[in-house]
Amino acid sequence: MSRAVTPQRKFAVTLLAWAIGLLIFFPILWTIITSFKTEAEAIASPPSFLFFNWTTEAYEAVNQRSDYLKHFMNSVIISFGSTALGLLIAIPAAWSMAFVPGRRTKDVLMWMLSTKMLPPVGVLIPIYLIFRDTGLLDSRIGLVIVLTLINLPIIIWMLFTYFREIPGEILEAARMDGATLREEIVYILTPMAVPGIASTLLLNVILSWNEAFWTLNLTAAKAAPLTAFIASFSSPEGLFYAKLSAASTMAIAPILIIGWFSQKQLVRGLTFGAVK
Amino acid sequence: MATQHSRLAARVMISPAVILLLGWMLIPLCLTIYFSFLRYNLLMPGMEEFTGWTNYRYFLTDPAFFAAIANTLALVLGVLFITIVGGVLLALLLDQPMWGQGIVRILVIAPFFVMPTVSALVWKNMFMNPVNGLFAQLFKAVGLQPFDFLSQAPLMSIIGIVSWQWLPFATLILLTAIQSLDSEQLEAAEMDGAGPLSRFFYIILPHLGRAITVVILIQTIFLLSIFAEILVTTNGGPGTATTNLTYLVYVQSLLQFDVGGGSAGGVIAIILANIVAIFLMRMIGKNLDA
């Protein structure tokens, strides 16, 4: 809004907004601060906010547990693997729906959205038993398959809303200038589609990284990503606040950074293009 | 530009996605329905037999089932109420001119990117723990008895944790919607003497209708399946105080190995979710042009 506001009003708004913003952010900030404490300082009463001996003791302790890196790599492989596989299947589908829409395109899209409404717990048991019998239980490949399928509708919807905005006239113009189909795809469509594909990729990595129903139910020690690893802290181990904080900080940091870069796309991706 | 040839190509391009989603939906769905009519316990392999509606009768008369339905409803409605009211207010605030708007936005959106197990554990141990938690320390500092959130008000505590995770989402979407509002309309209303309240109720709120619908739809899908937060904080307890439908089916099938009973619960969960889904799809169908 370009209306003039008095400096006093702007000052008050700033103060209030920062206070609320910091309040909402505080649990994350507190986790990061605590991760640099010793275990004794982490439960000290009264708690200290800044003036304590900053140490990376807790990080060293967590990293020394031989399995931390393994779980981190599991998260990376599962989230990027399922996103890549999902894109591979979704790009042609979204492409054809955006450029060659048929009578039933809208129905197909709505149907895909409706598969997202099937509660995971309704299909948990068969998937669990099938995975048990095929050796996919507690394997990365199994989780990649499941996460690809649950995120496929979101990937298709999001790509569709991006592709639909590429004007068809450009293609016709290129064709009239004698571009072949290959040239059309390489020089015109791909450059225009890349930003949409990139933001779809980012949003899906975030969703897969944080997915915590299937990852908790289908993995044990071997293929568990960070969501499941952190859940193991729910036992008395979690009362070692500094180590819990260090493990948590490492688990959320990559996604916080990716997330902040893609907040605009987040709105569009998660609302199926309904709010831009 | 849609020739016969490109139609065919389009169909070929879309079929892998359709076939995979169809298989992903139908195969497990049919199996769940089939299992729900069997007496099938993983501890007694080879003893499966057809039992008709027994599993359903058992599940539907289990007092835990009604508790789970009530808890599921309370969880979904509670979180929706908090995040939408909070989200509208926060979006209105963030839309005002201020210094450092971008940074405040980043602070507010951050909880959405925290994985559910981390946020649940951080809240449970570092804030709500009755001995060393920050709230307990705060209570003691002002001379009050520490409050054991997760055993005295377990469901409210979980609603609080989940609301913290979803408030950023609602805020971000509603803020995006507010920013797309034509400011001339607001200025015109202001010049005509409309106060802040009537401007909010007659211009801003109707403009937000569609965004609010979208927030309700998407959050409901995710909130019906809340699982990790319950697993790491209360394990569904004390008693069944925080058991929702998802968690109840999990307990029945994967902890008690009763595949038949768990499947019956799964079918009921699907039916309930579908009732919500039909209602919501109709709303989104009206509001969206796909």
Query: What's the farthest any 2 CA atoms get from each other in chain A?
Result: 76
What is the reported pLDDT for A2? 46
Q: How far is A175 from B210, CA to CA, in rounded Å?
A: 39
Q: Which residues of B touch A17 (CB under 8 A)?
A: 93-94, 96, 98, 101, 104
Structural domain includes residue B161: yes
| Beta carbons of A24 and B100 less than 8 Å apart | no
Structural domain includes residue B145: yes
Report the SS3 class of residue B258: strand
CA B286 distance to own-chain centroid: 22
Q: Which residues of B touch A125 (CB under 8 A)?
A: 31-32, 35, 253, 259, 262-263, 266
Q: Which residues of A touch B259 (CB under 8 A)?
A: 125, 129
pLDDT in tens, B120-157: 999 988 888 888 888 888 888 888 888 888 888 899 99
Q: Which residues pair with A238 in a beta bridge?
A: none
- For A18, which residue in chain B has the nearest alpha carbon? B104
Q: How many residues does chain A have?
A: 276
Structural domain includes residue B244: yes
| Beta carbons of A230 and B16 less than 8 Å apart | no
Structural domain includes residue B42: no
Structural domain includes residue B16: no
Structural domain includes residue A89: yes
**By residue range, what is the domain housing residue B244?**
53-289
What is the reported pLDDT for A14? 92
- What total of structural domains would you count in chain B? 1
Q: Which of residues 171-230 of A touch B (CB under 8 A)?
A: 171-172, 206, 209-210, 212-213, 216-217, 226-228, 230
Report the SS3 class of residue B38: strand
Q: Which residues pair with B38 in a beta bridge?
A: B50
Nearest to A274 among B16, B35, B210 (CB): B210
CATH number at residue B146: 1.10.3720.10
Nearest to A117 among B111, B221, B262 (CB): B221
Q: State yes or no: pLDDT of A23 exceeds 90.
A: yes
B179 pLDDT tier (thresholds 50, 70, 90): confident
Structural domain includes residue A16: no
Q: State yes or no: pLDDT of A231 exceeds 80.
A: yes
| Beta carbons of B132 and A127 less than 8 Å apart | no
Q: Which residues pair with B258 in a beta bridge?
A: B41
Q: How far is A35 from A243, CA to CA, in rounded Å?
A: 7
Most confident range (mean pLDDT) of A178-192, B33-47, B100-114 is B100-114
- For A114, which residue in chain B has the nearest alpha carbon? B277
**A78/chain B closest Cα distance in angstroms:** 15
Structural domain includes residue A182: yes
pLDDT in tens, B1-47: 456 677 788 888 888 989 999 998 889 889 988 888 888 887 777 77
Per mean pLDDT, which range of A48-52, B76-80, B102-106, B207-211 is the poorest? A48-52
Most confident range (mean pLDDT) of A44-58, A122-136, B47-61, B128-142 is A122-136
What's the whole-number mean pLDDT along residues B100-127?
Answer: 90
What is the reported pLDDT for A238? 65
Structural domain includes residue A37: no
* Residue with tokens 């949409």, as numbered in its chain: A196
Q: How far is A148 from A138, CA to CA, in rounded Å?
A: 16
Cα B85–B89–B90 angle (5° rounding)?
Answer: 115
Q: How far is B195 from B169, CA to CA, in rounded Å?
A: 29
What is the reported pLDDT for B230? 92
- What total of structural domains would you count in chain A? 1
Task: Judge residue A102's burial from the number of C-beta atoms within 10 Å of its C-beta, 0-12 exposed, 13-18 middle, 19 or more buried.
Answer: middle
| Residue of B31 and B281 predicted with greater confidence | B31
Q: How far is B122 from A53, CA to CA, in rounded Å?
A: 22
- For B232, which residue in chain A has the nearest alpha carbon? A234
Residues B253 and B240 sit within 8 Å (Cβ to Cβ)? no
Residues A114 and B290 sit within 8 Å (Cβ to Cβ)? no
Structure tokens at B119: 């946020």
| Beta carbons of B132 and A118 less than 8 Å apart | no
* Residue with tokens 């113009």, as numbered in its chain: A173
| Beta carbons of B269 and A119 less than 8 Å apart | yes
| Optimal mutation site among B72, B109, B115, interface A, most CBs of chain A within 10 A | B115
Structural domain includes residue A24: no
**A48/chain B closest Cα distance in angstroms:** 11
**B58/chain A closest Cα distance in angstroms:** 17
Structural domain includes residue B27: no
Structural domain includes residue B64: yes
| Beta carbons of B227 and A213 less than 8 Å apart | yes
**Helix, strand, coil abundance in chain B, percent, nearest 5:** 75, 0, 20
Structural domain includes residue B74: yes
| Beta carbons of A97 and B14 less than 8 Å apart | yes
For B77, other C-beta atoms within 10 Å of its C-beta total 13
pLDDT in tens, B53-93: 888 888 888 888 889 989 999 999 999 999 999 999 999 99
Structure tokens at A30: 């507190």
Residues B171 and B90 sit within 8 Å (Cβ to Cβ)? yes
Integer angstrom CA distances of residue A221 from A79, A136, B228? 18, 14, 17
* Residue with tokens 């835990």, as numbered in its chain: B64
Q: What is the pTM of this model?
A: 0.88
Q: Return phi, psi of residue B258, to 5°.
A: -90, 85
Structure tokens at A152: 């496929």
What is the reported pLDDT for A274? 65
Q: How far is B108 from A26, CA to CA, in rounded Å?
A: 10
CATH number at residue A183: 1.10.3720.10
Q: Which residues of B touch A112 (CB under 8 A)?
A: 17, 21
**By residue range, what is the domain housing residue A223?**
66-232
Give the DSSP letter of residue B227. -
E strand intervals along chain B: 38-39, 49-50
Integer angstrom CA distances of residue B284 from A156, A160, A271, A273, B21? 17, 17, 10, 12, 21
